[in-house]
């Protein structure tokens, strides 16, 4: 390299660092969009809208806008963000589907561990097995008998391959050794509408979407997906699937926040600082707790930590999904 070229390259690098620094210092200067890869009104959407409220102040008062890009189990929304400008103005709020999709989609348009800047984990959410009110079963033992007697006729709603409801339903069928007809939706909000209308029989869905429906008796609740019973008053009486005979059943959903790869580090750091503050917001904590979700406030609200965790989840669920032989092109 000759001296003149080296000097030009060095000053170009310096200029880019200075402009990135100036850009980061002013960030955010306009509304920030969080893409939710599922339909409005569902569990992930609820977390995102509550988080958006809590983020507003630590993000300098800028509006945080939610954009629902549902479909293909969350992969359409994730694809959109992976290809968005890496400027901190388009973020993705996604869940365990970040880790299950690589094993399900043969032609996924993004690489989970390479195409995003990881901003941190948000919360953990248990799931509940719920059914239409007209099901002739008052508890899990009666449901198990009904499922056995109705093999080949049972419908199970989910939010598409790669969704949390898909994963929970898949393990449920595997452990029961009963195949059900799965009915995919763009999110569990529209799936819940059909469950309330009695068009589908069952769904495994996050407490953030089912708690109020269980409380008001609009769905029948049979069990929870976690190894321990829940403390949320509306859900405390529900047995675990593990204690109901499906030994070792343990599906807990987590959510995280992501930015497109290449977002300047100073911007990533600013969002992470704002996220940490939002996750301590008293109103946010209260709302999440009432819906059975546990907000993460420890070292996991960190990009590097969260990325390591997602990688471990890919390694954990990949073999389970592959063993089930499910995939999409
Ligand atoms: N989280 C999805 C939703 O918000 C549902 C799912 O993953 O099952 O609709």
Angstrom distances, CA of residue 70 to CA of 44, 80, 186: 11, 11, 5
Q: Supply the mean pLDDT for the chain.
A: 93
Summarize pLDDT for 186-226 with one digit per residue, the tens.
Answer: 999 999 999 999 999 999 999 999 999 999 999 999 999 99
Tens of pLDDT, residue by residue over 99-151, are 999 999 999 999 999 999 999 999 999 999 999 999 999 999 999 999 999 99
pLDDT at 9: 58
In the prediction, which pLDDT does 253 show? 97
pLDDT digits (tens, 9 = 90+) for 74-108: 999 999 999 999 999 999 999 999 999 999 999 99
Q: What does the pLDDT look like over 59-70, one tens digit per residue? A: 999 999 999 999
Band (pLDDT 50/70/90 cuts) for residue 324 is confident
Does the pLDDT at position 12 exceed 60? Answer: no
Percentage of the residues of the chain whose pLDDT score is greater than 70: 93
- The CA 44 to ligand 1 mean position distance, Å, reads 6
- The size of the chain, in residues, is 329
**At residue 22, does pLDDT exceed 80?**
no
Enumerate the H helices of the chain as residue ranges: 3-26, 43-56, 75-82, 97-104, 140-149, 164-176, 188-196, 207-215, 265-278, 282-290, 303-324
pLDDT, tens only, 139-162: 999 999 999 999 999 999 999 999
| Structure token digits, residue 225 | 């997906």
Q: Whose CA is nearest to atom 2 of ligand 1?
A: 187
Q: What pLDDT does residue 328 have? A: 83
Which ligand 1 atom is at minimum distance from the Cα of 36?
Answer: 4
How many Cβ atoms sit within 10 Å of the Cβ of residue 198? Answer: 12
Q: Is the pLDDT of residue 50 over 80?
A: yes
Q: Convert the pLDDT of each residue in 270-282 to its tens digit.
A: 999 999 999 999 9
Residue range(s) in the chain whose domain bears CATH number 3.40.190.10: 126-224
Residue 121, helix vs strand vs coil? strand
Work out the pLDDT band at 11, boundaries 50, 70, 90: low
CATH code 3.40.190.150 region(s) in the chain: 12-125+253-324
pLDDT digits (tens, 9 = 90+) for 283-300: 999 999 999 999 999 999
Contacts of the segment 210-218: beta carbons below 8 A, 24+ positions apart: 210/128, 210/130, 211/235, 211/290, 211/291, 211/292, 213/130, 214/128, 214/130, 217/133, 218/133
Domain 12-125+253-324, CATH among 3.40.640.10, 3.30.70.20, 3.40.190.150, 3.40.50.1000: 3.40.190.150
pLDDT of res. 2: 56
* CATH 3.40.190.10 is the classification of domain 126-224: yes
Give the model's pLDDT for residue 24.
Answer: 79
Distance of CA 19 from the midpoint of ligand 1 (Å):
39
**Residue 10, pLDDT above cutoff 60:** no
Cα of 58 to ligand 1 centre, how many Å? Answer: 27
Task: Give CA torsion, residues 286, 289, 293, 297, to 10 deg.
Answer: 60
Sign of the C-alpha dihedral computed for residues 230, 128, 192 and 189 taken in this order: positive
Ligand 1 site-directed mutation target among 35, 74, 156, 162, most atoms within 8 Å of CB: 74
pTM of the predicted structure, to 2 decimals? 0.91
């Amino acid at each position: 390299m000759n001296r003149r070229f080296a000097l030009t390259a060095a000053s170009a690098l310096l200029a880019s660092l200075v402009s990135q620094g100036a850009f980061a210092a002013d960030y955010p200067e306009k509304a920030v969009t969080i893409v939710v890869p599922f339909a409005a009104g569902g569990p992930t959407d609820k977390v995102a809208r509550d988080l958006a409220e809590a983020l507003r102040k630590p993000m300098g008062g800028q509006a945080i806008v939610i954009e629902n890009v549902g479909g293909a189990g969350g992969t359409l929304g994730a694809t959109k963000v992976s290809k968005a400008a890496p400027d901190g103005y388009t973020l993705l709020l996604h869940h365990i589907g970040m880790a299950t999709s690589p094993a399900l989609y043969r032609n996924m348009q993004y690489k989970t561990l390479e195409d995003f800047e990881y901003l941190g984990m948000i919360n953990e959410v248990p799931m509940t097995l719920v059914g239409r009110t007209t099901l002739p079963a008052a508890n899990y033992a009666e449901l198990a008998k009904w499922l056995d007697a109705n093999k080949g006729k049972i419908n199970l709603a989910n939010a598409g391959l790669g969704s949390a409801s898909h994963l929970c339903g898949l393990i449920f069928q595997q452990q029961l050794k009963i195949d059900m007809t799965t009915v995919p939706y763009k999110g569990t909000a529209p799936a819940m509408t059909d469950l309330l209308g009695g068009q589908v029989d069952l769904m495994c869905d996050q407490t953030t979407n089912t708690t109020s429906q269980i409380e008001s008796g609009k769905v029948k609740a049979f069990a929870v997906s976690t190894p321990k019973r829940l403390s949320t008053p509306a859900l405390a009486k529900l047995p675990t699937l593990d204690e109901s005979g499906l030994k070792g059943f343990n599906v807990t959903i987590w959510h995280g926040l992501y930015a497109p790869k290449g977002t300047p580090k100073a911007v990533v750091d600013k969002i992470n600082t704002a996220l940490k503050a939002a996750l301590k917001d008293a109103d946010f904590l209260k709302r999440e707790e009432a819906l059975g979700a546990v907000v993460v406030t420890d070292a996991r609200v960190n990009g590097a930590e969260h990325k390591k965790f997602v990688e471990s989840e890919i390694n954990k669920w990949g073999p389970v999904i592959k063993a089930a032989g499910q995939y999409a092109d």
